[in-house]
Amino acid sequence: MTGPVRTERRGAVVVVTIDRPEVFNALNAEVLGRLRAAVLDAEDEARRTMEAGQRALRDIERVAVPVIAAVNGVALGGGFELVLASTFPVLSTRASLGLPESGLGLIPGYGGTQRLPRLARRPAAFADLVRQEPA
């Protein structure tokens, strides 16, 4: 998009820039309308991706045949959510799992926040969140 509001995609991030230096990037009706359109467009793309991921992992979780997730490396974010949705996760000693979104103030988008507490013992799932008193 050109004009007073520019949109640029950087991987999974959409950068929206207000470019009106002659008026110190002041907002007016046109800028607000374009800003709103840019944000709603980015939301639509994100929503479609998130809903597709949720549907896929829900189907994996509910399918009538066993699903094996074999991990011999890093499974972060959506990869870890896929492991959580599988029937039998098989992890090597080199497997590294996690939901790094939570450290960024984001919510895992494919159901990991519901699956992890259900599948892990509560103390194991939340061990790093609980301060242990010295014995």
Active site residues: 81, 101
Amino acid at the residue 114? Q
Q: Are strands 68-71 and 5-10 parallel, antiparallel or unpaired?
A: unpaired
Cα gap 56→81, rounded to integer Å: 11
Q: Is 89 left (phi over 0), alpha (psi -120 to 50) or beta?
A: beta
- Give me 117's structure tokens: 């507490």
Give the C-alpha separation, 38 to 34, whole Å.
Answer: 6
